[in-house]
Structure 1
Amino acid sequence: MTLIPMVVEQTSRGERAYDIYSRLLKDRIIFIGTPIDDHVANLIIAQLLFLEAEDPDKDIHLYLNSPGGLVTAGLAIYDTMQYVKPKISTLCMGQAASMAAVLLAAGEPGKRFALPHSRILIHQLMGGVQGQATDIAIHSREILRMKEEINRILATHTRQQLEKIEKDSERDFFMDGNQAKEYGLIDEVIYRKTLPVIR
């Protein structure tokens, strides 16, 4: 069982308690601090849609410390990030690996950040299939299609040539914040807090 911290605030009506994630959401901050699966994706999508409905003109801040996860779940978050009207700033604190690196790069241009000791990883998709030879062939084609799709997305957001993305992601390709900036995955490395805190 995971313990979720609570935050108590004083209001004109007395005390109000929030779990830490709800308190961050109040400041338009969404935090992905776990592997990305369907459940996590549904929660993130719901938060993005909620914040858009609350104020479509105010930025949303997506903070990432994730080892990545399911491609389909990550793409659902990615598509929603592109769909909603608010600009989405992204910040890697810790690690953004695999699908989390795609989400990091998918932030609003000029608003994609990493802390100095962040670790960013792009790599080839992983998948395992069992069953009849025909089914294995079908799944193999789908994995290759998704790999091409992820590479195209990364090429779009980094402005790297597709061939370079394909070559670099053939094996685990690690970057620190400065290397990720050079690569085009982020725009700036943040050494001190410069993002506005919305109250």
Structure 2
Amino acid sequence: MTTAALPDLNYRDLLADRLFRQRTILLTGEVDDAMAERACSELVLLAAADPKRDIVLYINSPGGSVFAGLAIYDTMKLVPNDVVTVAMGFAASMGQVLLCSGTHGKRISLAHSRIMMHQPSAGIGGTAVDIAIQAESLERMKRQSQEILAAETGHPVEQIAEDSDRDRWFTADEARDYGIVDRVVSSFAEIAPHTTTPRIGL
């Protein structure tokens, strides 16, 4: 008689599973391909399980890959659900873009969170032709990020370009005034999930 092998689940996996069943996704740490794969998969699964209930994204991230961040952004916009975004601790660069891209009226910051906005950046090197191609690609990424932020905050693209030319830091209240978030909260009751999604057999 053989014994079936148990899945190798660590604490983070178990925590993520419990939160997933509460329709909550954590975006913590650097925005990279692994984060994008998990976040996009969970957004799609939660939307398939119930296309009407809110999905909550808690964000504590210094930013990272623009391409990985845009994959998450596109999936947030793809699903029919309202996506609640919550800044906890630190939301910078692409983390800030994802924060302000939640459903309007449901973009939240905890009271002592810090938010930082700036231009996308990337290392450029190689031959003169390579450098020109990379510079053109970076310029397109900058413009794309500016257009997203303009649409989400209500500011003109030109103002976003000027304000994000250097690192710009916001307190929670300043982020609300700028249009990055809609509310600053200090009570869990204001954002607590009220529904549970059953485990999906994977």
Pair in the same fold by TM > 0.5: yes
* Distance (Å, rounded) in 2 between the aligned partners of 1:105 and 1:167: 18
Q: Secondary structure of the residue that 1:19 maps to in structure 2?
A: helix
Does structure 1 residue 143 correspond to structure 2 residue 138?
yes
| Residue matched to 1:5 | 11
Q: Secondary structure of the residue that 2:136 maps to in structure 1?
A: helix
Deviation at 1:4, TM superposition (A): 4.8
Deviation at 1:33, TM superposition (A): 0.8
Q: 1:167 to 1:40 in 2, by over 3 A?
A: same
Q: Secondary structure of the residue that 1:47 maps to in structure 2?
A: helix
| Residue matched to 1:34 | 29
The number of aligned residues is 186
Task: State the TM-score, normalized to the length of structure 1.
Answer: 0.90
Does structure 1 residue 45 correspond to structure 2 residue 40?
yes
Deviation at 1:192, TM superposition (A): 1.2
Does structure 1 residue 197 correspond to structure 2 residue 193?
yes
Q: Secondary structure of the residue that 1:127 maps to in structure 2?
A: coil
Choose between structure 1 and 2: higher strand proportion.
Answer: 1
Please tell me the residue identity of whatever aligns with 1:77: I
Deviation at 1:196, TM superposition (A): 3.5
| Residue matched to 2:163 | 168
Task: In structure 2, list runs of 5 or more residues that go unmatched.
Answer: 1-8, 197-202
| Residue matched to 2:104 | 109
* Distance (Å, rounded) in 1 between the aligned partners of 2:118 and 2:23: 30
Misfit runs of 4+, over 2 Å:
3-6, 196-199
* Distance (Å, rounded) in 1 between the aligned partners of 2:34 and 2:79: 20
Does structure 1 residue 65 correspond to structure 2 residue 71?
no
1:27-51 per-position Cα deviation (integer Å, ceiling 9, x unaligned) = 0000011100111101100000000
| Residue matched to 2:88 | 93
Task: State the TM-score, normalized to the length of structure 2.
Answer: 0.89
* Distance (Å, rounded) in 1 between the aligned partners of 2:80 and 2:61: 25
> Relative contact order: is structure 1 or structure 2 higher (C-alpha 8 Å, sep ≥ 6)?
2
Q: 1:152 to 1:19 in 2, by over 3 A?
A: same
1:125-175 per-position Cα deviation (integer Å, ceiling 9, x unaligned) = 111122111011001000001100000000000001111110010000000
| Residue matched to 1:77 | 72
Q: Secondary structure of the residue that 1:56 maps to in structure 2?
A: coil
